A and B are shown apart, each in its own frame.
Chain A
């Protein structure tokens, strides 16, 4: 019988809709209300010092809308006005300086798209398949276009003559919130591509991402992207703060730990199908889609396996990968209705190949917490339901 949605006059085709300005700053239509950040309450002691997850299962393309980009706070998100904002540059500089927000906007600025991944992303999965949803296994990541001033411009403004040889110099960066979350960054990186950013995806940063100003440290772990940035100090040694000793260090099987593991290695994951995105249409044409990224540069290739890594097909990249940014990949395929073990494997411009879980464990054991960039497996059954599994 004919589709009444077509043959009968529908309200929306007859009655007028909402006027302009009904929602002066728009929100997603209510039918998309489940595309939201979520947390896992039992992971942390308090939401004030916690993390939530980007709904990457429900997004496409590469840009993460600010409103659903994951949050990580150590002492809660603060409200800091542009008028009250101050940024101090001090330490081994010729002229210690204080900038207002307005000062920052007078420096030449740049636009770059970068991913920001928490070092603990996928950290629950070291000891085995744990959380059944890509939002929870891989959602500590977002990808935005940042507008800001290169940190090197501000350091030059203060003058680096006093720093002498840059080789053993650092900048120590801290935030204005109660945790202050200080991290030490080698001078070489600080002068390379670090941005002092005030816009994301064209608009002001959200409170939860450090309004009015945050640091962007491309390709390096999210903990270093200090929010509410208030001070940059040039030092001749790493401060070895809590966030770079007791946290964000990687314990190995013999009890020793790696420190200064800043770079986020190449990684990818299939976002659909995945446990939150079952195949609902049955056999036939379908799109397998996912995200790939590398802190070392561009993603050059992503392979997809449907049989747990026995055979691989090279996926299509949505567009050429941006350096240190999310790349979307697609495998346009035909599903015969048989169960699948879906995996994706990223390669970056340095030739680095995303490792399997076994390769990682062989190197590091299972106690690392951070920097788990293993190949993820989804078991998709004949009904199209996907589940987080481990395979031999």
Chain B
């Protein structure tokens, strides 16, 4: 009982102390304590453990393992391990990075940032290739293979000849084209200094015009993923704004995204060709972001679709097809209404590996309409 009473007293004291501290505004949510010495947690890392993980390479070459390689040897390694994504000449396949060229484009509208045109240090190339490449087989390259690949990338950029022997001795001294192209973050001087002002609240502008509408209308179907289509809408016909509000209230316009979906035609009658073609034209809006038809149609993200029926799969000149279409070309498969319908119902299932990101046409009526519409462009 005595012990119990002592415990109760101690508890009361503790509560009183906490209340007193709280009353004084003492911060009970202080940060984690700073340690005076070490907690003695963890264990010492062994030299061979550090050697296994600490492989990063600094711009001055520290961290480079002993080894060497040249572009002549590198070409073979690159073709074997890198070219499937980066191309035989480091020109890049699909959306994978381009590694060569682009010199003097950095000030252009769409700069081509390659190892040759942009990377400031050659150490970075070695470091990245050795640790993180090839994609899906990281950490499998030997130092000599890595030097050879780095040499081949330099060679692809016309920065060395194919006999140049790159090694741990000379890599850090190699001057990259864009080595002086970087400045350290200067936002504090150029931006913060001028943008830290009390902002305007009233009559900040006389009038406001809409100058651009979104390029891609993104559909977000409940089942996930996205479909996007080009927005054909123009800025003309939209109100301007002043402090009195909008200049006018526009006539009810069709909802842009829904419009394309709802425009899908009713199941068409076979003898009603013109209606079907017209409906197909509307359905084709979903395709227009990537495919052109008609006079002067060019390849864009997808190949042009003139003369589609009767044409062999993957056969349009100048278009870079995925491997699945290259295989289909070799097999001599030919587009007809049935194959197109099957492809469009589930593109990724019908042509596994296709680059086409479109999720497909779900309605038979849409497919009939597309067939009728595309048939009007040749064959």
Contacts and interface: CB of A to CB of B under 8 A. Distances in A.
Given A239-B127, A339-B246, A390-B212, A233 B54 contact: yes
Contacts of A38: 220, 224-226
B1 interface: no
Given A97-B44, A237-B59, A136 B53 contact: no
Contacts of B357: 41-42
Given A99-B42, A240-B123, A259-B182, A75 B132 contact: yes
Contacts of A88: 45, 49-50, 53-54
Nearest to A266: B195
B97 to A, nearest CB: 8
B119 A90 contact: no
A245 B182 CA distance: 9
Contact of B215 (A106, A130, A251, A352): A130
Contact of A150 (B32, B106, B209): B32
Q: For this complex, into which size category does the number of interface residues on chain B fall?
A: 35 or more
A96 B41 contact: no
Nearest to A276: B220
A254 interface: yes
B66 interface: no
B6 interface: no
B42 A242 contact: no
Given A40-B228, A149-B32, A246-B115, A96 B191 contact: no
A312 B200 contact: yes
Nearest to A154: B42
B121 A240 contact: yes
Interface in A319-366: 337-341, 345, 347, 350-353, 355, 359, 363, 366
Q: Majority SS of interface residues in chain B?
A: loop
Contact of A159 (B38, B185, B216): B38
A385 B199 contact: no
Contacts of A381: 250, 253
B222 A33 contact: yes
Given A41-B226, A129-B214, A258-B186, A97 B45 contact: yes
Contacts of A159: 38
A373 B53 CA distance: 37
A71 interface: no
Interface in A76-116: 88-91, 95-100, 103, 106-110
B345 interface: no
Contacts, number: 317
B182 A391 contact: no
Contacts of B204: 309-312
Contact of A103 (B42, B202, B206): B42
B240 to A, nearest CB: 9
A367 B195 contact: no
A117 interface: no
Contacts of B32: 107-110, 149-150, 153
B119 A245 contact: yes
Given A382-B250, A383-B255, A131 B241 contact: no
A132 B45 contact: no
Nearest to A135: B220
B196 A352 contact: yes
Interface centre among A132, A263, A351 (most CB of B within 10 A): A132
Given A338-B246, A391-B209, A351 B38 contact: no
Contacts of A382: 249-250, 252
A258 B184 contact: yes
Contacts of A352: 192, 195-196
Interface string B232-269: 00010011011101100110110111000000000000
Interface string A252-294: 0111111111110100000000011000000000000000000
Contacts of A251: 106, 111, 113
A237 B58 contact: yes
B182 A256 contact: yes
Nearest to B243: A310
Contacts of A245: 119-121, 124, 182
A179 B139 CA distance: 10
B375 interface: no
A391 B211 contact: yes
Closest 4 CB pairs of A and B: A255-B106, A308-B208, A255-B107, A45-B95
11 contacts: A39-B225, A39-B226, A45-B95, A88-B54, A96-B50, A258-B182, A265-B187, A309-B208, A310-B206, A341-B208, A355-B195
